[in-house]
Amino acid sequence: MWLSLGVMRRKLRIGAIAAGCWLLAALPGSIRAQQNTLTLQLLARAGQQALTTEDSCTNAAGETFAVRNFRYYLSHIQLAGADGRYYEAAETAAYLADMRDSSSQQIMLTTKGPVQSIRFLLGVDSMANVTGVHTGTLDPAKGMFWTWNSGYIMAKLEGRSPQSTAPGRNFTYHIGGYKTGQQTARWITLPVTATPANRLVLAADILQWFGGSAGVTIASHPVCHEPGPLAVAIADNYTRMFSVVKEGEQQP
Amino acid sequence: MKLRVLLPVLLALIVGGSFIAQYGPRPEITRVPFPQPKGWPKPLYDFKANPLSKEGIELGRRLFYDGRLSKDGNFPCASCHQQFAAFTTFDHNLSHGINNNLTTRNAPGLFNLAWQREFMQDGGVNHLDLQPLAPLTAPNEMGEEIDSVLVKLRTDKRYKKMFAAAFGDTAVTTQRMTRALSQFMLTMVSANSKYDKVMRGEAQFNLPERLGHGIFQQKCVACHPPPLFTDFSYRNIGIPDDPFNSDKGRMKITGKSTDSLSFRVPSLRNVMITAPYGHDGRFFSMIEVMEHYRKRLKVMPATDSLMRKGIPLSNFEIGQLTAFLYTLTDSSFIANPHLAAPADITVPVAADAADHQRVR
């Protein structure tokens, strides 16, 4: 013990200051460590089956059809932890998911700790609909925009069915409309349980587009190309199409 | 010693220079103020999002007159919007599109667009930047696809330069193309007719014009208020549906039966050089329009309340009113060289339109 008590005290003080500095320096790092990335994987499905352009599907009304195009916008993707507070989790304002483009169905999100629920707008908000020509996924050249009646097509489902009475036995649902009474963008909120921290799988089931309170069938309505009551009814239907896929049943 | 002084100065110059190059104003983009006429309302267009520049306007002008925006190369915007007819189609009830198509409506004049909130005669388009995409993609008009136009523009050396000059780099996007078109169209300000000169105290009405102005203020001004000579409302003025060109107008956009056969009130500026009249150009002369208002209109459930009894007009009043309407022709607007085609572009015209141009 060649150090006096005073010197030891001073050393302790220096140590404490050093430790404090280290903590301060490390704190943003630890917050950064908490901000993990999460891959939002979207799956296109018809019921429990993976949706492909080749296979035939059957809806609740017993109509058989094949889908050649299924696309929809997602925007304002938000996540919430245990405190239930939602925060913006996506880098880009809007994403365009396309069944034929697997990369479009993978969205990187930033999390702040464990995720308890996710919510997003299926479609794009009114602001995007009234502020002219946008770039990126919102470029009108993406084919998700009406030039004759300004506004985005929030979601598109197209295919062929023997039950269709439209030319070419086609059925084409271009669902859009942002004005009062014609709104087709829908908030989707889903609780997230028992998923790995870095991956969240959502299935979008196109069979949910049919039926509902309006009883939508291909035979009764093979075509929807404008805002209005039919588009709103189908939007109410597609509000139900998402579900969280539990680990282990991702590949049906 | 000298080096000690020089080195920091040099360093400061390099750092400062690169900073200005990165963040300073781009000297090659020449901002241009909007030509706001005195006493007019504030424009509705958002110039903050798309500020006017000499380069942007010049690019927009070339795009407006370039046939490559259409599928077969023959239908630029200017084929249906001719300057000498205040940017309507001269002497055409309906305009021509690709493959011998006819449009379903009379091409509206293009001027004073900065004050207009909605476009198309049914108001379906909610932003000036979006407007060109409607005729560009319509199968009976320019019949093109946006991507295909962008590809054509990207392979053109001159456009590469012009996009860079207007927007800072050579990227050709839908947004830039439409913003440039807007910049050019926003400069189409018509505010220098005889009427405007009279209002500014630079000229005087003659007797028929003055009498006509009085009649106008009694019988027309409710829907055609100055200075824009439209209130931008949508009204059914008793024009019955044409079964061979069924067009329900505003109802197509709102889905409301009360909007059946309603179309936007057109501006009366330049009206005497924009015949034919009516949403589908069914009135070939002004006298037919007057006859419609005083006798022929058909009252329907959706017909405007101001129109249900027609507009009583004597032959004398029609004469004076017509004299007044002539004072709304802006001859400096239709001859403005800044709005004309770039010198190296010849606008392709349909055979019949070419004949008319020769007569002119």
- Residue B43 inside a domain? The answer is no
pLDDT along chain B (360 residues), means of 10: 65 65 64 96 97 97 96 94 96 92 95 97 97 96 96 96 96 97 98 98 98 98 98 97 93 94 98 97 96 96 95 97 98 96 80 46
B220 is in an annotated binding site: yes
Q: What is the pLDDT of residues A128-160, one digit of tens each?
A: 999 999 999 999 999 999 999 999 999 999 999
Q: Mean pLDDT score of chain A, rounded to an integer?
A: 87
Say yes or no: A227 and A182 in one domain: yes
pLDDT at B92: 94
Question: In CATH, what number is assigned to the domain containing residue B198?
Answer: 1.10.760.10
Say yes or no: A68 and A2 in one domain: no
Q: Does B134 touch chain A (CB under 8 A)?
A: yes
> Can you tell me whether residue B341 is helix, strand or coil?
coil
Say yes or no: A41 and A58 in one domain: yes
A 10 A CB-CB count for A25 gives 9
Per the structure, the complete domain to which residue A12 belongs is given by: 1-34
More confident position, A82 or A124? A124
Closest Cβ opposite residue A149 in set B145, B173, B253: B253
The dihedral over CA atoms of B88, B92, B98, B100, expressed in degrees to the nearest 10, equals: 180
First to last CA, chain B: 78
Per the structure, the complete domain to which residue B299 belongs is given by: 194-331
Return the biggest CA–CA distance within chain B.
97
- Is the CB of A134 less than 8 angstroms away from the CB of B136? no
B127 is in an annotated binding site: no
- Residue B11 inside a domain? The answer is no
> How many structural domains does chain B have?
2
Say yes or no: A29 and A120 in one domain: no
Helix (H) or strand (E) segment spanning residue A25: helix A5-34
> Can you tell me whether residue B240 is helix, strand or coil?
coil
pLDDT at A113: 86
- Is the CB of A141 less than 8 angstroms away from the CB of B174? yes
Say yes or no: A78 and A12 in one domain: no
Q: Does B147 touch chain A (CB under 8 A)?
A: yes
pLDDT at A246: 82
Q: What is the pLDDT of residues A173-212, one digit of tens each?
A: 999 999 999 999 999 999 997 666 688 999 999 999 999 9
pLDDT at B18: 64
Say yes or no: B171 and B220 in one domain: no
Cross-strand pairs, B53: B31
Tokens of B194: 């005889």
Say yes or no: B139 and B232 in one domain: no
A36 burial (CB, 10 Å; 0-12 / 13-18 / 19+) is middle
How many contacts (CB atoms, under 8 Å) link A and B? 69
Say yes or no: B185 and B198 in one domain: no
From the centroid of its chain, how far is CA B75? 17
Q: Tokens 């009379």 label which residue?
A: B106
Chain B residues closer than 8 Å to A145 by CB: 133
Say yes or no: A201 and A88 in one domain: yes
Q: Evaluate if residue A32 carries a pLDDT over 50.
A: no
DSSP state of B168: S
pLDDT at B28: 77
Cross-strand pairs, A109: A38, A90
Cross-strand pairs, A205: A45
pLDDT at A249: 55
Say yes or no: A30 and A41 in one domain: no
Say yes or no: B135 and B183 in one domain: yes
- Residue A252 inside a domain? The answer is no
- Residue B357 inside a domain? The answer is no
Q: Tell me if B224 sits within 8 A of B289, measured CB to CB.
A: no
Tokens of B257: 């039966």
- Is the CB of B138 less than 8 angstroms away from the CB of A228? no
Sign of CA pseudo-dihedral B125, B131, B134, B137:
negative
> How many structural domains does chain A have?
2
* Cis status of the peptide bond prior to B227, with omega within 30 of 0: yes
- Residue A96 inside a domain? The answer is yes
- Is the CB of B146 less than 8 angstroms away from the CB of A130? no
More confident position, A249 or B243? B243
Say yes or no: A133 and A185 in one domain: yes
Say yes or no: A17 and A53 in one domain: no
Say yes or no: B248 and B144 in one domain: no
Say yes or no: B179 and B231 in one domain: no
Q: Does A136 touch chain B (CB under 8 A)?
A: no
Tokens of B329: 């022709």
First to last CA, chain A: 72
Residues 148-167 of B with CB under 8 A from A: 150
> Can you tell me whether residue A104 is helix, strand or coil?
helix
Say yes or no: B237 and B319 in one domain: yes
- Residue B341 inside a domain? The answer is no
Mean pLDDT of A223-241: 96
Q: What is the pLDDT of residues A35-66, one digit of tens each?
A: 688 999 999 999 999 999 988 999 999 999 99
Say yes or no: B209 and B91 in one domain: no
Say yes or no: A198 and A94 in one domain: yes
- Residue A251 inside a domain? The answer is no
Say yes or no: A14 and A60 in one domain: no
B136 burial (CB, 10 Å; 0-12 / 13-18 / 19+) is buried
Q: Tell me if B52 sits within 8 A of B113, measured CB to CB.
A: no
pLDDT at A29: 46
- Chain B residue with the nearest C-alpha to that of A149: B124
- Residue B16 inside a domain? The answer is no
Helix axis angle for B157-167 and B174-186, nearest 10°, is: 70
Considering B189, B216, B234, which residue would you say is the last residue of a domain?
A: B189
Tell me the pairing of strands A49-50 and A151-160.
unpaired
Say yes or no: B184 and B266 in one domain: no
Dihedral pair phi/psi, residue A154, rounded to 5°:
-70, -40
pLDDT at A9: 57
Say yes or no: A44 and A13 in one domain: no
DSSP state of B119: B
User: Closest Cα of chain A to B181: distance in Å?
Assistant: 12
User: Closest Cα of chain B to A151: distance in Å?
Assistant: 8
Q: Which amino acid is at A194?
A: A
Q: Does B169 touch chain A (CB under 8 A)?
A: no
B155 burial (CB, 10 Å; 0-12 / 13-18 / 19+) is exposed
Q: Does B121 touch chain A (CB under 8 A)?
A: no
